[in-house]
Amino acid sequence: MASPSPYIIGDALYKTAPHHESFAALWETKWKPLCAKGIYPFMFGSIKDFQPVVDSIVEKGLKPPYNWDEYAECFFPKALELTHIAEEAEAAGHTEKACEYYLRASAIYRIARFPAPRSPKQKHAWEAGKAVFYKGAALLEHPIREVLIPHHHRHPHEGATIPANLLVPPSASPSNPAPLVIIFTGLDGYRTELAVWQRPFLDRGIATLILEIPGTGDSPADPRDPTSPDRQLASILAFLGTRPDLDASRVVVWGFSTGGYYALRAAHTPAGRAGLLGCVSLGGGCHHMFDRAWLERADYMEYPFDLASTLAYKFGYTLEEFYTEGARFSLKGDGTLGNKCCRVLLVNGKLDEIFPIEDLYVALEEGGPKEVRVVPETKHMGEPMSFFYILQWIGKLVGSPIENPWEFLGGLPFVTKY
Catalytically active residues, by annotation: 257, 352, 380
Note whether 293 and 323 are within 8 A (CB): no
- From 298, 402, 358, select the one nearest 17 (Cα to Cα): 298
Burial of 396: CB neighbours in 10 Å, binned 0-12, 13-18, 19+: exposed
Quickly list DSSP for 107-141: HHHHHHH-S---SHHHHHHHHHHHHHHHHHHTTSS
C-beta pairs of 395-398 under 8 Å, 24+ apart in sequence: 395/204, 395/206, 397/250, 397/252, 397/277, 397/278, 397/343, 398/179, 398/180, 398/181, 398/206, 398/250, 398/252, 398/277
C-beta pairs of 118-124 under 8 Å, 24+ apart in sequence: 118/68, 118/310, 118/313, 119/68, 119/69, 119/72, 120/69, 121/68, 121/69, 121/72, 121/73, 121/76, 122/68, 122/69, 122/71, 122/72, 124/72
Distance CA 415, CA 60 (A): 30
